[in-house]
Each structure stands twice: as C-alpha cells, then as structure tokens.
Amino acid sequence: MRIQSRNGEGLGALAASYFALALASTLAGLGEQHLLSVPVWGFGSIVLGMTGYALFWIGIRRLSSGKLRRMDWASLAIPAVAAVVALATQFHVTSYMRGSIGNGFAFASLTVSAACILRDGERERLPARILLAASIGLGGLLALMVVVGLLVPDVAPMTPIWAFFLRIMTQFAVALFVIILVTERTEAELRRVAETDMLTGIGNRRWFMSRMPRTMLAGNALLLIDLDFFKQVNDRFGHDAGDAVLVSFADAISRTMRPGDSFGRLGGEEFGVYLPKTTANEALMTAENLRKAAHDLVVACGGERISFTVSIGVAAVEESQTSLADLFKMADAALYAAKDSGRDRAVLFEPGIRAAA
C-alpha cells in the first residue's frame, strides 16, 4: 500500500512497525523453542517490540491527521531508553517483567492511537475510521489484560497466552482496516475532484444536480444567477480578471448560504442555488440579498477595480409537485425576464413570465 500510495500517509512507518513486531515475535518463538538464549531473545523481543509500537503510533498519527510532526519521532527514544535499562538491570531475562513492560507500552501506544483516529474523525467522516479505532482499542485492551494476567493472575479474565494470541488477531484486523481507510479516502478524493469546480472551489453542475430531488415538493426553491455582461469583463480586463471575478463572487455567495442550502457553478458565468424549506417570498428575499452582495463587491485585479452586477431568476414550488426539469425552466424564464427588464435584479417566476419568455 505504501508503494501504491502517492502521499505515503504514514504507511511506511506502519509497514516498518509490523516488520519490527514480526521480528520480535520470531525471536520470542525461537526462544520458546530453546534455539536462542534468554538474554538474547528476551532483549531482542522487548526492544524490537517497543520499537514496533513506537513506529505504530507515528504511522497512525500520520495516517489519521495527514501531518507528521517531527516531535512524533521522539517516541523512538522510549525503546532506546528501555534497551539501556535492560542492559543495566537485566529485567528482560525475567518473563513477567519483560512481558509487563512490553505489553504496558503496547497498551499506551494502542490507546493513544485509537484516540487519535477518533479525534480526527470529526474532520474526515469515513466509516473505516470507527472500525479501525475499535480494532486498535481492542488490541490495547488485550495488551492490558496480558499485563494484568502477568502481575495479578487471580483477577485476570483470561490467561496472558490467550490475551496475547487474540491481540495478534487484532493486528491483522488493524492492517485490514488501514487498507480500507486508505481506499475510502482515495475514493472520496476522486468524488470530490469529480464534483468540484476547479476554478471557484464550489460544487460543479454534477454535484449541484445530485443535491436536488428529482421531484420538487412544496417549499423547494431554485435560483439561477447570471453575471451581467461578463463577456465585456473578459474583453476589457482579460480572462485572468474574469476568473478573479468568478472566484470572488463564488466566495462571497458561499459565505451567505444557510446549512442545507446548495450553491454551485452550472457553467461559464451561471450559478445555481437550491433552497429547501423556503417559500416563494423567502426565496425572492434571498435572491435580492445575493444581488446586493454582488452589486457591492469590488474585485481588485492587475491594478484595476472591477464592479459587476448579476441577474437572478427565482422559481419556487408552492403547492403541487413540480419536476426538476420544469423548475429549471421556470427559473430560466424568470432569469430571462430579469435580463430583459434591465439586469441587476431578481425576478420571481409567475405564469405570465413563461409566455413572455
């Protein structure tokens, strides 16, 4: 996954973590078969194991937040200190001390890693985060049970052997959900790119249409907004200035949207606003506020100060159901009427407007 990932996302540290843990487990296995002396395999397994869980924290934090702080690498000092202490005290040759210290550090690393995944979930709501945090948290709980089983076996809910075995199983689950999280994140980014207007950063026509129901019920409203004489802005000031006007307009209008409203660029200088739970009068008032906001906006570009106006067509469903296509036709007719009557105004669709258009 690290090789395939463009941004890394902490996968390199996680891969190194799993490799270190595999080496630690291999040394412990060789020691249990009496192929290595206790001082050798005990020292190697405790140092490699703690290194593995330090790298695990580094990788998970990078994966979760998208950022890697230099101070995170300071966690590698903990296994280094443990190695020095082990050489000085020989605690690693005593099984319960070696197991308690190693699993205690695993518990700390896994607990803070699970907390990090959940904390960053507010910023990135992906389903795999919950499953990943649960797997990591369960692994931390099992590591704590190993410690309890070694120090106070009478109150332990399971033996250290069973707890350790189950913790190994959770490591497989963690690896699986890390891969799923990276895949979900890639898919979400592809959807975002496909549904975002690259110039203004707001939703494009595809995104905007996906936000609207196929059948519009009473209380739904649509605004179609067109920048007046936009071609003249491009001809007089250049396309860079035209782009600056579009970006400034989109940014200004985005800040006025209510939660639940949808604002997107439909193409060229045309924008759309979908207003759920809005009456015709409320929709017209909203359109008038947007018109004033555009009228008061001055865009500075290349030493020039550019002012512009917009025309807005308003269509609202008041009683019966209306198809999405019909609502667009109504708003388009109202927009036509706004332009035909002098521009820089918002017009609410009425039956007579359709005939005129």
Task: Name which of 42, 35, 34 is nearest 97 in CA terms.
Answer: 42
Cα–Cα separations (whole angstroms), residue 332 to 222, 230, 310: 10, 18, 14
> Catalytic pick from 122, 269, 319, 350?
269
| Cβ atoms of 49 and 7 closer than 8 Å | no
With a CB cutoff of 8 Å and minimum separation 6, the contacts of 97 are 91
Which of 329, 335, 325 has its CA nearest to residue 227? Answer: 335
Counted residue by residue, the chain has a size of 357
Q: At what angle do helices 239-254 and 280-296 cross, to 10 degrees?
A: 140
Residue 269 is among the residues annotated as catalytic for this protein = yes
Report the relative pairing of strands 310-316 and 221-227 from DSSP bridges: antiparallel
Q: How many CA atoms lie within 13 A of 35 on its CB side?
A: 6
The SS3 call for residue 273 is strand
Report how far apart, in Å, the C-alpha atoms of 54 and of each of 110, 140, 178, 322 are: 10, 14, 17, 60
Record the tokens describing residue 238, joined without a space: 């250049």
Q: 3-state class of 314 per DSSP?
A: strand
**Alpha carbons 288 and 312: distance in angstroms, whole number:** 8
Sheet with 346-348, strands from edge to edge, namely: 262-267, 270-275, 221-227, 310-316, 346-348
Q: Name the one residue in this structure whose structure tokens are 């690393």.
A: 109
Active site residues: 269
